[in-house]
Amino acid sequence: AATAVQASPALSSRSRAAAPLRGVSAQPARRTLRASTSRVRASAEDAPVAEEMIKMVVAVTGATGFVGKALVDRLMADGHEVHILTRNAISARLAMPNAALKGAKFYSWDTMKGKIEWYEAVKGCTGVVNLAGAPISSPWNAEYKKTLVKSRIVTTRRVVDAINALPAAERPTLVSSSAVGFYGSSKADAGFSEKARAGKDFLAKLCVDWEKEAARCESTTTVVRTGVVLEKGGGALAKILPVFQLYGGGPPGS
């Protein structure tokens, strides 16, 4: 499940000081992407949508990913308009045929006019949900670490640039993904509070840099630090479940 936590004090203070930013908080996404009484729910199993829900226009990066697909399905099921920002619109349409059939709009970066397309994608939106990033489940060799960084930092930079290019009154809310890897590893059997400092390992540094890019957004910005997302149809659980079914599972080790 997704966990939203307060951004680090250092990051929050930088964001407040850098006018005209209005701060980086870590409220749940449903509090941020709101049009009057409407809200986005993360799970398709949630309670029925309120009758008074107002239609939103939401742009999503990382829409072909594990969490992104679920979010897009829910948004469209609730009657909202979805803009999918992707590196390759053709590939994304093939990966998400249901979204394409239901009227989702696809915008590609892999074209000479990429900047124009992403500007048009966020124009008129209620909010932008930035979920882009290569999976962390692949082996972390030196080359793949570069992919992990580029897929998050560069995409977030492009999203923020597109939002900031809009007139101030037209800039949508940004909900940008991060991870609990921000906190690093604990040597003791203790957890982390929302005020804990960032760790010092590779993933922690990546999360810090990732959030710094989101902090440049000149609109209301929320950073959502998720933990490991579990669902039997994909993600980490889909990979480890067969091992447990063969009685090969056990508690995590060091």
Confidence of residue 191 (pLDDT cuts 50, 70, 90): confident
CA 196 – CA 141 distance, rounded (Å): 28
CA 25 – CA 213 distance, rounded (Å): 14
pLDDT exceeds cutoff 80 at 231? no
Name which residue leads in pLDDT, 197 or 187. 197
Q: Which domains can be identified in the chain, with CATH numbers?
A: 9-40+53-184+194-244 (3.40.50.720)
Compute the average pLDDT of residues 42-71: 75
pLDDT exceeds cutoff 80 at 6? no
Spatial strand order of the sheet with 24-25 comes to: 24-25, 221-226, 173-179, 127-130, 57-61, 81-86, 105-108
Compute the average pLDDT of residues 40-58: 60
Give percent of the chain with pLDDT exceeding 90: 44
Among 52-56, 139-143, 225-229, the least confident range: 52-56
Confidence of residue 254 (pLDDT cuts 50, 70, 90): low
DSSP string, 177-245: EEEGGGG---SSS----TTPPP-SSHHHHHHHHHHHHHHT-SS-EEEEEE---EETTEHHHHHHHHHHH
pLDDT exceeds cutoff 70 at 151? yes
Compute the average pLDDT of residues 99-109: 88
pLDDT exceeds cutoff 70 at 29? no
pTM of the model: 0.74
Please give the pLDDT value at position 209.
96
CA 100 – CA 94 distance, rounded (Å): 9
